[in-house]
Amino acid sequence: MKGIFITATGTGVGKTVVAAGIARHLKENGVDVGVMKPIASGGQEDAQFLMQAAGVEDSLEAINPVFLEHPLAPYESARMEKRKIDLKSVARAYQALAQRHAVMVVEGVGGVRVPLTKNQDVTHLIRLLKLPALVVASASLGTINHTLLTLEALKKEKITVVGIVLNFFDLDDLACRSGLEFFKEKKIPVLAALPPEAGFADNPDLTARAFSKTALARWLAKLSYTH
């Protein structure tokens, strides 16, 4: 099963926009792409946006098997609802959905250390799904620390990281430019740097176009056509 897990340095840095842009990019290049937002808390808008971007006919329940009402970390939201999240059940739902598509784009929830159960966080879900991770980070001031901590956590859990996407990248912003140079110096692969108009987009076509000539597009091509 081929796919990619979209995670991030935290909440609100544009995971959904990036995931939707990737899904639309793959679809426009003739790939049968499936999408999944395994766990969501506070709303199902992200899952619905992914569905629209990929143009899939899968049910919302298949794409988002675990929905929690409270906009909190899933473990906390589940506790308030007197529910327990079963990651093995989530993995089975993923496998069933992945069998219908050539490539899967899976969006996580929050950052990599967001608790999903009492003893499991997002890294456990990534490992269970056996997918490589793409890290979305805001290009603004503070991204170096947040990104390094995220990469360190993924490395500790032996998760393959294909690279990072810098979102809201403004060439006129010194912090954005210096952050990009730092990552290049440290040989951390920046697969794309999305300008603000693409990073905030509610139109996946705009984000997909921003990806078209990036290293991310080249990596996705290899993923799609490698048997």
Q: Mind telling me the catalytic residues?
A: 37
Smallest CA-to-CA distance from 75 within 125, 36, 34, 25 is with 125
Q: Take residue 43 and report the two structure tokens written for it.
A: 């709303």
Q: Are 90 and 125 in contact (CB under 8 A)?
A: yes
Q: CA 222 to CA 212: how far, in whole Å?
A: 14
Enumerate the β-bridge partners of residue 138.
167
| Residue among 57, 41, 48, 42 at smallest CA distance from 16 | 48
Bridge partners (DSSP) of residue 29 are none
The answer to whether 85 and 66 are in contact (CB under 8 A) is yes
Helix, strand, coil in percent for the chain, rounding step 5: 45, 20, 35
